[in-house]
Structure 1
Amino acid sequence: MFPFDEAQGDAYVGGFVADPEEYLSLESASKQRYCNIASRTLTSKYGGYVIPADAVYDFASVLATTFSDQNKLAQQGVTQFSLSGSIGISFKNGKQELADLVPRHIAGLISDANPDLPKVGGRIKPTVL
């Protein structure tokens, strides 16, 4: 389980995340749950790297927005719905894997925390010798 510090998480998300409302409006237990999921996903995707707390809080905020009341329908595979013909919503992307939701800047945070390891998220390029 991720060593959750609500004050630290709120300060980071409030100061560095572009859309912090979903995360900041959550109850403590929900914030802890999203941080646990974020930590597990990042640790799995970037095995062998130290995952800084800032990356976990940032990704937890992404997950909170992704699984908000409206957006979680897209994660469940719904592509379009309407209410009494007056409101209609269509989703561009359907269900995605959690690891596919990790933004590039979070990979940068992980790379910065691991200066002695290869940068994460890079591409392998062929070299002629």
Structure 2
Amino acid sequence: MAANLGGAEEYIELNVINLDDWAEADEAKKQRLLTVAERTLIGLYDGYTIPDNAVYEYAAVLATVFNDNGMLKRQGVAGFSVTGVGSFTFANAGSPSDDIARFIPKAATDIINASNVGRPTVGGRVRWTVL
């Protein structure tokens, strides 16, 4: 694994807007987020160069997706409340089988594409066209 926790901390602090969930995670969870982000990108874009910064962008998103509230949503909890604090309702409860690749941010695919000039671009969306 090329991506490392020290590099992730520095990059995310300087380049990611929503970093609260990353900052609040303990070191072991951050390492897991990096491992999953890198493994997912390498598996999905086999044969492409995956820069560390793309992994860091994706790991920061995964920190938000897999925060405490996100985990409750994926476990099927429709809503909950804490007396005197607040009430939380999830619009669409997720499922444990959610494909985490759908959370890869455009910033990560842009970084991958910039490092793989001359190759087919990654991260595009398939759209219907009318001729």
Please indicate the TM-score interval, normalised by the length of the shorter structure.
0.7 to 0.9
* Structure 2 residue 44 is matched with structure 1 residue 45: yes
User: Which stretch has the larger CA shift, 11-20 or 91-100?
Assistant: 91-100
Structure 1 counterpart of 2:121, one-letter code: K
Identity of aligned residues (%): 34
Structure 1 counterpart of 2:25, one-letter code: L
Give matches, 1:89-100, under 5 Å.
Answer: 89-95=88-94, 96-100=98-102
The equivalent residue for 1:9 is 8
Give matches, 1:57-72, under 5 Å.
Answer: 57-72=56-71
Uncovered stretches (5+) of structure 1, i.e. residues with no partner: none
User: In 2 relative to 1, CA 94–102 (structure 1 residues): closer, same or farther, beyond 3 Å?
Assistant: farther
The equivalent residue for 1:105 is 107
- Contact 1:4/1:32 (8 A) holds in 2: no
Question: How far is 1:15 from its partner?
Answer: 0.7
Q: Take 1:92 and 1:70, find their aligned partners in 2: how far apart are those partners?
A: 12
Q: Take 1:27 and 1:50, find their aligned partners in 2: how far apart are those partners?
A: 29
Structure 2 counterpart of 1:8, one-letter code: G
Question: How far is 1:81 from its partner?
Answer: 2.3
What TM-score, normalized by structure 2, do the two folds share? 0.81
The equivalent residue for 1:27 is 26
- Contact 1:14/1:20 (8 A) holds in 2: yes
- Contact 2:3/2:38 (8 A) holds in 1: no
- Contact 2:109/2:123 (8 A) holds in 1: yes
1:89-124 per-residue CA deviation (whole Å, 9 max, x = no partner) reads 112343231011112221111111111211112356
Uncovered stretches (5+) of structure 2, i.e. residues with no partner: none
RMSD: 2.3
The total of aligned residue pairs comes to 126
Structure 2 counterpart of 1:100, one-letter code: R
User: Which stretch has the larger CA shift, 64-73 or 9-18?
Assistant: 64-73
SS in 1 for 2:87: strand
SS in 1 for 2:62: helix
